[in-house]
Amino acid sequence: MGFKDKLMNLGKQHSDKVDQGMDKAGDMAKKKFGHEEQVDQAVEKGKGYVGGEKEDPPPPPGQ
């Protein structure tokens, strides 16, 4: 079992804690940098990835 598999498994087991942590990090990023819509999108994509809903994260824009 690789690191990615372990991370995905932990994300599934503790999805409520992961969601809370990502929401808190998103709120802090919005306060510091603004760009609320982009931060919200990133948080939702991250939740899906760590929670196991997506196999791989999407590539960065322009690649």
Dist. CA 61–CA 63, nearest whole Å: 6
Q: Angle at CA 32, nearest 5°, toward 28 and 35?
A: 95
Q: Are 51 and 12 in contact (CB under 8 A)?
A: yes
Look at residue 51 in the predicted model and tell me its pLDDT.
64
- Backbone φ and ψ of 20, nearest 5°: -60, -45
Q: Are 3 and 11 in contact (CB under 8 A)?
A: no
Residue 47 has pLDDT above 90, yes or no: no
pLDDT one-digit tens code per residue, 1-45: 788 788 778 778 888 888 899 999 999 999 999 999 999 999 999
CB atoms within 10 A of CB 8: 19
